[in-house]
Amino acid sequence: MSQGLYACVHAAEFPSQALLRLRPDLQSLPVAVLEGRAPLEQVCSMNRNARQLGAATGMTRLEAEALAGQSGGLRLLPRSLEGEAAARAVLLECAASFSPRIEDGSKDAAGDARKAAGTGTAWALVLDIAGTERLFGPPRALAERLRNALKAAGFRASIAVSANFHTARMLAASSRGITVIPSGEQALALASLPVALLAIPDSHAETLALWGIRTLGELAALPEVDLIARLGQEASTWRKLAMGAHTHAFQPIEAAFSLREFCEFETPVEQMDSLLFVGARMIDSLALRAATHAMSLASVTVDLELEGKRAHRLVLRPALPSVDRKFLLKLLQLEIAAKPPPAAVLALALSAEAGQSSKVQLGLFAPQTPEPSRLDVTIARLKAIAGEDRVGSPLLEDTHRAGSFRMANFAAENPPDEEQEGPPRMALRRLRPPLAVRVALNAGQPALFYDGRQSYKVSTSFGPWRSSGCWWSIDGWDSDEWDVLAESEGAPVACVLVMDRGKHQWRLEAFYD
State the Cα–Cα distance between residues 89 and 427, nearest whole angstrom. Answer: 58
Contact indicator for 161, 5 with CB cutoff of 8 Å: yes
Of 393-412, binders to other proteins (CB under 8 A) are: 393-396, 402-403, 405, 407-408, 410-412
Handedness of CA 193, 196, 199, 203 (dihedral sign): positive
Site stretch for other proteins (CB under 8 A), options 70-78, 346-354, 362-370, 449-457: 362-370
Of 61-90, binders to other proteins (CB under 8 A) are: none
Q: What DSSP state is assigned to residue 354?
A: E
Strand order in the sheet with 158-162: 102-104, 123-128, 6-11, 158-162, 178-180
44 phi-psi bin (left φ>0, alpha ψ -120 to 50, beta other): alpha
Binds other proteins by CB under 8 A, chosen from 210, 249, 366, 443: 366
Q: Applying CB under 8 A, does 390 fall inside the site for other proteins? A: yes
Binds other proteins by CB under 8 A, chosen from 210, 385, 443, 474: 385
Q: Which H or E run contains 432?
A: strand 428-436
Q: What is the distance in angstroms between the CA of the first residue and the CA of the last residue of the chain?
A: 86
185, amino acid identity: E
DSSP labels for 446-479? EEEEE-SS-EEEEEEEEEEEEEEE-TTSTT-EEE
Binds other proteins by CB under 8 A, chosen from 37, 115, 429, 453: 429
Q: Applying CB under 8 A, does 493 fall inside the site for other proteins? A: yes
Binds other proteins by CB under 8 A, chosen from 39, 111, 416, 444: 416
Number of residues that bind other proteins (CB under 8 A): 68
State the Cα–Cα distance between residues 253 and 128, nearest whole angstrom. Answer: 12
Q: Applying CB under 8 A, does 512 fall inside the site for other proteins? A: yes
Closer residue to other proteins (CB): 69 or 422: 422
State the Cα–Cα distance between residues 202 and 118, nearest whole angstrom. Answer: 16
State the Cα–Cα distance between residues 487 and 494, nearest whole angstrom. Answer: 8
Binds other proteins by CB under 8 A, chosen from 39, 72, 223, 422: 422
Q: To the nearest whole angstrom, how small is the minimum distance from the Cβ of residue 457 to other proteins?
A: 11
Q: Applying CB under 8 A, does 391 fall inside the site for other proteins? A: yes
Binds other proteins by CB under 8 A, chosen from 266, 324, 371, 451: 371
Contact indicator for 435, 508 with CB cutoff of 8 Å: yes
Binds other proteins by CB under 8 A, chosen from 112, 254, 413, 475: 413
Closer residue to other proteins (CB): 1 or 396: 396
Closer residue to other proteins (CB): 58 or 367: 367
Q: To the nearest whole angstrom, how small is the minimum distance from the Cβ of residue 280 to other proteins?
A: 20
Site string for other proteins, 319-358 (x = CB under 8 A): ------------------x--x------------------
State the Cα–Cα distance between residues 69 and 92, nearest whole angstrom. Answer: 38
Q: To the nearest whole angstrom, how small is the minimum distance from the Cβ of residue 310 to other proteins?
A: 18
Site stretch for other proteins (CB under 8 A), options 156-164, 231-239, 447-455, 484-492: 484-492
Q: What DSSP state is assigned to residue 212?
A: T
Q: To the nearest whole angstrom, how small is the minimum distance from the Cβ of residue 198 to other proteins?
A: 60
Q: Applying CB under 8 A, does 490 fall inside the site for other proteins? A: yes
Burial tier of 159 (Cβ tally within 10 Å: 0-12, 13-18, 19+) = buried
489 phi-psi bin (left φ>0, alpha ψ -120 to 50, beta other): left
Contact indicator for 14, 121 with CB cutoff of 8 Å: yes
Q: Applying CB under 8 A, does 182 fall inside the site for other proteins? A: no
Q: Which H or E run contains 438?
A: strand 438-442
Pairing of β 6-11 and β 158-162? antiparallel
Closer residue to other proteins (CB): 135 or 412: 412
Q: Applying CB under 8 A, does 29 fall inside the site for other proteins? A: no
Contact indicator for 262, 348 with CB cutoff of 8 Å: yes
Q: What DSSP state is assigned to residue 52?
A: H
State the Cα–Cα distance between residues 302 and 259, nearest whole angstrom. Answer: 12
Site string for other proteins, 434-463 (x = CB under 8 A): -------------------------xx-x-
Burial tier of 506 (Cβ tally within 10 Å: 0-12, 13-18, 19+) = buried
Closer residue to other proteins (CB): 47 or 322: 322
Closer residue to other proteins (CB): 112 or 418: 418
Binds other proteins by CB under 8 A, chosen from 62, 135, 253, 386: 386
Site string for other proteins, 285-324 (x = CB under 8 A): ----------------------------------------
Binds other proteins by CB under 8 A, chosen from 430, 457, 466, 503: 430
Closer residue to other proteins (CB): 38 or 366: 366
Burial tier of 139 (Cβ tally within 10 Å: 0-12, 13-18, 19+) = buried
Binding stretches for other proteins (CB under 8 A): 337, 340, 366-371, 374-375, 378-379, 381-382, 384-387, 390-396, 402-403, 405, 407-408, 410-420, 422-432, 459-460, 462, 483, 485, 487, 490-495, 510-513
